[in-house]
A and B are shown apart, each in its own frame.
Chain A
Amino acid sequence: MKRDIPEAAMADVVLQLRQLGISYGPRTADERHWILRDLDLSVREGEFVTVMGSSGAGKSTLLNLVAQTLQPSAGQIAFRGEVVGGADMRPNPGSSRQIGYVTQDDNLLPWRTVWDNVMFPLTLAGKPSPLEVDRARHLIDRVGLSQWTQHFPHQLSGGMRKRASLARTLAYNPPVVLMDEPFGALDAETRAQLQSDLLALWASEKKTILFVTHDINEAIALGDRIIVLSGSPGRIVLERRIDIDRPRDPELIFKAPTFAGHYDAVRDCLRSACQP
């Protein structure tokens, strides 16, 4: 495994996965089928990490573990140095209200309008402040749904539901955001627009993002660091810092001088030239 980042250099780590693993099957560790095993990952405050990997490598599972919607079979999850989840703890998603999760399904509540869906996480914590309402309105505007706030999810297209789901997570403003191929189902134009918007939001709000994608261009355009999961059980087989200057233009990212080098390295790894 290739690592070009020294572990000790990370003082301001916000999210840390220690020897994390998940498995199913028989009781003894050796006989079990491991989906992810011995996963170590440290994400710094404000870092944008993109996660890639062949299909079935456990990308979504990784996010589910971090969001605590799945119970790990081994290891620990620490948030700002404090262990919040692990094999010996009951998963308690949302306990910290620190993590936002844009899942692969939009998971909008079908009985709420777009507006009420976006406001849903905010209302859970009490009456939203005028500032939060403004922020939500601004985000809905930004994802191009201002004409659709009073519509129900079944009246929207798949791409629009996806954007509503994105606005919902960002409106609630968690410091760490997990995103599972949020732009996968969108047309190229909208995707480029949302990628720039996401980068702008990320830069202005100092969010920490863990972003799963299967698009190498996207991974390079957005991320500070790319990690590639592969194999069975899934492990991190490549970790690569993307040193392209910001602000970046996702549409023209291929013009960056080091782009080709990053692209080839990731592609080669994905073609399983890179075994653990």
Chain B
Amino acid sequence: MTHRRLWTDRIVLACVILMAWEMVGRLRGAYWISSPTLVLERIWTLVLNGDLWFHGRFTIGEALGGFLLGAIPGCAVAMALRRHPFSRAAFVGVAAIGYAIPKTALVPLFILWLGVGPGAKVALVGAAIFFIVFYSTLDGVDAVDQKLVLSARVFGATESQLLRHVVWPAVIPYVFGGLRVAVPYAIAGAIVGEIISSNRGLGYLAQYGATDFDTTLVFVSLVTVMFIVLSVSAALSRIQKRLLRWQTNPSQDARTVGA
């Protein structure tokens, strides 16, 4: 299938869905499901009066903060455990328990500790992202070709040179696989936190719209979130393609599972 054909098909399908939505909205009344034109109009007014940016920047900030708070330690811990099989076995066993806890169930605790401000949302996002990135990096560390490691050691590579020139480049695809899976979770964590308790952010906006029977506002929030997730994923995918030029075919790589 050609690239062009792919995109015309996608656009046509999206138009059909939007038109169906618009038609149902006009025929049955927009009270319950709003309509694309209403949503666009509202987005426009909210962009003009600055409300969308006001709420959006809180959500993006919380998601980004939590993303870094989870991804960096997740990656670092997995890399650090590479040469320590005993600590690794212990840590992986305990991490399985942490992974099993539904992160949303931790929200009351985070609010208790950190208050209703952005802190609790950042913690929630961080807790969710940590495990995703940790496990994917660990997979990468396990998959490093030992023959490459040995041959580099024969050349006289020190431990830090091995890490930098042999292990890390081999792990990058796995880290990216994890990051790409993590993006929607980061935004979702921030939104859920805001829905539970907040007076700002896109989650708050959706919650406020729903209690006010303002369906259009709920959809405005959803569309904005969708837009954020898609653009961040696209940006990550571009960076990944650049970094992984050396791979035979990065797009079909099993390492980007679920991305």
Q: Which residues of A contact B (CB under 8 A)?
A: 67-69, 93-95, 97, 99-101, 103, 105, 107, 109-112, 120-121, 124-125, 152-154, 172
**Does any Cβ of A come within 8 Å of B166's Cβ?**
yes
Cα distance A1–B12 when bound, in Å?
A: 81
C-alpha spacing A125/B161, complex, angstroms: 10
Query: What residues of chain A lie closer than 8 Å to B153, measured between beta carbons?
Result: 69, 93-94
CA distance A95 to B157 in the complex (A): 9
A172-B150 in contact (CB<8A)? no
A124 and B156 in contact, given A152-B245, A154-B248 (Cβ under 8 angstroms): yes
B165 adjacent to A103 (CB under 8 Å): no
Q: Interface size on B (CB < 8 Å)? A: 20
List 13 extra interface pairs beyond A94-B154, A94-B155, A124-B152, CB under 8 A.
A67-B154, A69-B150, A69-B153, A94-B153, A99-B154, A100-B154, A110-B246, A110-B247, A120-B155, A124-B155, A154-B246, A154-B248, A172-B155
The listed residue (A68, A69, A95, A111) touching B169 by CB distance below 8 A is A111
Interface string of B139-175 (1 = CB under 8 A from A): 0000000011011111111100100011001100000
In contact, A109 and B148 (Cβ under 8 angstroms): yes
Minimum CB distance partner of A169 in chain B: B155
Bound complex: CA A67 to CA B156 (Å): 11
Expressed in whole angstroms, the minimum distance between the Cβ of A16 and any Cβ of chain B is: 19
The one of A101, A105, A125 that contacts B154, using a Cβ cutoff of 8 Å: A101
CB distance from B146 to the nearest CB of A (A): 9
B147: contacting residue among A97, A107, A153, CB under 8 A: A107
Chain B residues with CB below 8 A from A110, complex form: 246-247
- Report the bound CA distance from A153 to B247 in whole Å: 9
Chain B residues within an 8 Å CB radius of A109: 148, 152, 165-166, 169
B165 touches A93 (CB 8 A): no
Bound complex: CA A124 to CA B165 (Å):
10
The chain B residue sitting closest to A97, CB to CB, is: B156
Q: Are A120 and B165 in contact (CB under 8 A)?
A: yes
Interchain CA distance A30-B157 in the complex, whole Å: 37
Chain A min CB distance to B140 (Å): 13
Q: Which residues of A contact B155 (CB under 8 A)?
A: 94, 97, 120-121, 124, 172
Closest chain-B Cβ to A113's Cβ sits at a distance in Å of 8
Contacts A93-B153, A94-B154 given; does A124 touch B148 at CB 8 Å: no
